[in-house]
Chain A
Amino acid sequence: MTSTQLDVTFAALADPTRRAILARLAKGDASVMDLAEPFAMTQPAISKHLKVLERAGLISRGRDAQRRPCKLEAAPLRDVTEYLERYREMWEQRFTALDAVLADLNRKPKRRRTP
């Protein structure tokens, strides 16, 4: 995944409504009408969000001209997850080492470095 693609994916995910739309689509395909209902938003407003998600490759739209059902596309999400998880894992490794340092300091709290 190139950093440009990553930027597009992150930008699309930066909005809470769009994340909620993805969470809804994770349960199954839905039409614009289905999606607009729980968000108390107009269909044009939802359509705008869907265009951003579609450009980011996070969803695809069906061919049925009437409903054009939205479908979640998992691949870009998996890529972003991989980046985040590896970064998290790097820091978790550091903080696990920090746990050991703290346990050591806790065992000898009175000890001071003497000049």
Chain B
Amino acid sequence: MKKLKLITGAANEIIMEREFAAPRALVHRAMTEPALIKRWLGNECSAVIDVQVDLRVGGSYRHVFRRPDGVEFTFTGIYKELGVERTVHTERFNDMPGEAVVTTTLTESDGITTMLMIERFESAQVRDFVLSTGMADGAGLSYDNLERLLSEL
């Protein structure tokens, strides 16, 4: 299975691509059903303490996380499109103004599902802020070498 590929497309985007060894109907379920979301969205850096999903177009979702230092943060949004092939939802971090639009496309071939997730933020500044919060959540990691960066950016 190919590892997660992350690229920055436009200055306000984060694009992620990843393969899963499962039919896309299952991947879609695992990404939208609260009981299943709870099983993979959290980790030791940020535990998931609440997942609420109103799974219909126009319905909202709410993911509440808690960091080990006790600080809680919330992602909320509205489902704009809900298909097994393509899901579009908005995303708001805490009560910050502005929201991102996340488009998730699932393509299935020979039982392998390829996910393409495009996060489009309101501005490059918001995108960079999100990347920097990701940094705070991450574990200690080694630097990439320059050549790899240049080939992936």
Contacts and interface: CB of A to CB of B under 8 A. Distances in A.
A107 to B, nearest CB: 11
A48 B124 CA distance: 21
B14 A87 contact: yes
Interface residues of A, number: 41
A60 B40 CA distance: 45
Interface string B1-41: 10110101011001010101110001101110000100111
Interface in B115-153: 124-125, 127-132, 134-135, 137-139, 141, 143-144, 146-147, 149-151, 153
Category for how many chain B residues contact A: 35 or more
A68 interface: no
Contacts of A103: 21-22
B43 interface: yes
A7 B147 contact: no
A26 B3 CA distance: 26
Interface of A: 3, 6-7, 10-11, 13-14, 19, 22-23, 26, 72, 74, 77-78, 80-95, 97-103, 105-106, 109
